Amino acid sequence: MLYALLVFMYMSVWFLISLAVKRNDVADIAWGLGFIMLAVFSYVQGEFDLDRGFLVTLLVLIWGSRLSYHIFRRNRNKSEDKRYAAWRVAWGKLFVVRSYAQVFLLQGVLMLLISIPVIMINTAQTSVWTVFDILGLLVWVCGFYFESVGDRQLRTFLSDPTNKGKILNTGLWKYTRHPNYFGEVAQWWGIWIIALSVPHGFLALIGPLTITFLILKVSGVPMLEKSMAENPLFDEYRKTTSVFVPWFNR
């Protein structure tokens, strides 16, 4: 209940910020920072597994700060993200209410679900390290590489005017159409694997399952694929490149 209240207050503050700056895409910046808040708060509240908790809190800090800064830099000096702009028009007079409920509060609920492995680790009553800690850390590092490098490659590609109308199909984007999304999901599976070292850690499965479902079925891959499909070059790219899990070209 305490964590739910904390998230409620946090997302409510960001909702007020969105009203002040007249753009709902600040919710994307709040996303990564919110996980950091929950990780740090649960670590401070914990009294037992401080070493493992410190590791996982550090991993969340690295992931969340990089993601929020990446989104902030991407949106800086630009108009509101077209997804939120479209909702602003579609929701009409109910925009404020629906923004609060469907953008900020809903995102807060999802944030809390995904953070369950972190909270369980930080409040666990054991400090015995296992092979799951090493395996989880390796998976997380792999995921961080795919997300951070994938984002950097895309940013570099889009910054070159000569690439207008082209599809990025080099670097990590040669092996998966969404290396950054794959990396984000992999990082949360890595944290869940670490959670297997603590009592009842398997129950934290709801965390990686939630982020995987969101990325694959809701706000990640489907929305970007729909946008990419407008490019005539996308059909060939789709036929030759794995949609999510990195693999060799067909």
What does the block give as tokens for 133?
């800690």
The answer, yes or no, to whether residue 121 has pLDDT greater than 80, is yes
Q: What is the pLDDT of residue 81?
A: 81
Q: What is the pLDDT of residues 195-220, one digit of tens each?
A: 999 989 999 999 999 999 999 999 88
Q: State the Cα–Cα distance between residues 206 and 198, nearest whole angstrom.
A: 16
Average pLDDT of the chain, as a whole number: 93
Listed residue (156, 188, 144) closest to 35, CA to CA: 188
Percent of the chain with pLDDT over 90: 80
Q: How far is CA 219 from CA 46, 103, 115, 150, 224, in A?
A: 33, 12, 18, 18, 8
The answer, yes or no, to whether residue 49 has pLDDT greater than 60, is no
Average pLDDT in the 70-91 region? 88
Q: What is the pLDDT of residues 7-23, one digit of tens each?
A: 999 999 999 999 999 99
pLDDT-based confidence at 243, cuts 50/70/90? very high
The answer, yes or no, to whether residue 227 has pLDDT greater than 80, is yes
DSSP state for residue 24 in the 8-state scheme:
T
The answer, yes or no, to whether residue 48 has pLDDT greater than 80, is no
Domain ranges of the chain: 1-127, 128-250
